[in-house]
Amino acid sequence: MSSSTSDRRLSELWSCVTLDEASSLIDSTSSPFSLQNFVGGQYIAPHDSLTNSSQHITSFEPKTGRPIYTLPCTQPHAVEAAIKAAKAAFPSWSKTARAERSAILWKVSELLQQNREVFAIWESIDQGKTLDRARVEVDRAISNFSYFSTFILHEQTAARMVDGVALTYEHRSPAGVFALISPWNMPLFLLTWKIAPCLAFGCTAVAKPSEVTSMTAFLLGDIFQKAGVPPGVINIIFGDGATTGAALVASPLINGVSFTGGTQTGIAIRRLTAHQIGKHLSLELGGKNPTLVFADSMVPSVRERTIRVAAMAAFENQGEICLCGSRIYVEKSVYNDFVRDFTAYVREKYVLKQTVGAVASLQHYDKIRRYLELAAEQKATFHLGGAPPTLNEDEAQGYWIEPTILTDVAKNSAIQIDEIFGPVVTITPFDNEQEAIQLANDSEYGLAAILLTTDGARMRRVGEQLEAGLVWVNCWLVRELGTPFGGMKNSGTGREGGEHSRDVFTVVRTLHLPAY
């Protein structure tokens, strides 16, 4: 693709300010758009030596099943070229004054704000989520850059005196070149959650979005150009995990990896980097999160809130959020009432093709379908939803799955154990507080939990026993960007957010000065 053709294609993407315009643009093209890697501050045409891939991946629109674009499956030698671009940019960027880095990142946030609707439109088309949900996530991406752009202006360190002997103090510096790998469920939000602190703390990076949802990452390169990010500071390459991702994280030139995605991929990253002891690793992995509903949360004055929070935690973004509460445990005395009211609420508020989008891919559709077929085989009770039909790859009708509510699911069923990552919840009764805690913690995962109660003592008593990195009480998905984000057990290692992101992207040394 020539530079002029690439510029024209970018201009066409930026010109779409409604879903209908974007859909018409897709329909009007004789072949899918071709995304290009962003390396050294410029887009690299597919025939260029920095991409040079004999393989390309086609991405499909979840709501229709039609192809939207192709992207290169970047090969190892081209991955290494992108890493070298980041490494070449590191000495200058790491020494750039924090005020200057701050101004550039603030400009990125302003440009994202100015193009908010365009990003939301393409995120909705690319991932399958509703436009309203996409807008929320674009706003969070904007906040990522604005937050970290100002955070670095208020750095502090620790100093200690060894009486009459020495003064010691901590000094931090950027850790180096990072691999930033994000998942397909919240593409722009989670990619910028990594890029913003990485650049703010003076590191450079090679970012790889999921091959399933790469459109907004492609547009992001243009934003970085316009904001004045120096060439090579942030590079964006496309491809799958087995080829592109593996080459990226395993490179000895990479000083750290920040990854969000599945637990099995996280394990693979640990293995690929096991011999590189000093490589920083931050892995935010899967979750099979519990929602605990106590009887006091079902009294008339707060019942609506309880149902609303539980439903939002279950079905927002089609259940494709690692923090979703997909295992609901309800105190036995209010179990029947909860099942009835919850089902009625979800039926009214979470309507397919209106407030519920399509799942992200045919592969993921098939995964969820198999779990729902298993639920039917195991005689689970379907209060809402059911197993969707089998789809052929050439059936351009979209990947739509009704919100599904199940009861009578055995404790040892794969439906209770595995991270389904879709619009599927199970509801199970419990007798007492201790059993609720035991059921909640009976999982290999420990990312998040939702606790619904009006008892202040219980909020702490139960909340502090839950094996989860994040516990929400009577709310869900509330975030303050300085708080630590991450999980326990097989939900990952490391924390990000505020000072915790600083720990990921910097190295610390202690200096000892004689006290004279």
Which residue from 197, 320, 263 is spatially nearest to 492, judged by alpha carbons? 263
Using CA atoms, how far apart are residues 468 and 450, in angstroms rounded to an integer?
Answer: 10
User: Per the structure block, which two tokens stand in for 492?
Assistant: 């990952």
Helices 116-127 and 131-151, axial angle in degrees (round to 10): 120
CA distances from 299 to 22, 111, 331, 387, 456 (A): 46, 46, 13, 34, 15
Using CA atoms, how far apart are residues 143 and 106, in angstroms rounded to an integer?
Answer: 10
CA distances from 61 to 65, 189, 214, 375, 378 (A): 5, 19, 12, 28, 33
Give the bridge partners for 407, in sequence order: 381, 427
Element (H, E) at 497: none
Instruction: Check residue 163 and report its DSSP letter.
Output: T
Query: Are the C-beta atoms of residues 462 and 436 closer than 8 Å to each other?
Result: yes
Which residue from 133, 49, 34, 131 is spatially nearest to 85, judged by alpha carbons? 49
User: Per the structure block, which two tokens stand in for 404?
Assistant: 């599904």
Which residue from 102, 103, 107, 76 is spatially nearest to 206, judged by alpha carbons? 76
Active site residue 100: no
Backbone φ, ψ for residue 188 (5° rounding): -70, -45
DSSP 419-448: ---SSEEEEEEESSHHHHHHHHH-SSEESE
Instruction: Check residue 352 and report its DSSP letter.
Output: B
Q: Work out whether the CA dihedral 269, 272, 274, 277 comes out positive or negative.
A: negative
Options 123, 284, 402, 496, the catalytic residue: 284
Read off the amino acid at residue 10.
L
Query: Are the C-beta atoms of residues 453 and 462 closer than 8 Å to each other?
Result: yes
Using CA atoms, how far apart are residues 179 and 177, in angstroms rounded to an integer?
Answer: 7
Element (H, E) at 302: helix 300-315
Which residue from 423, 424, 401 is spatially nearest to 414, judged by alpha carbons? 424
Residues with catalytic roles: 284
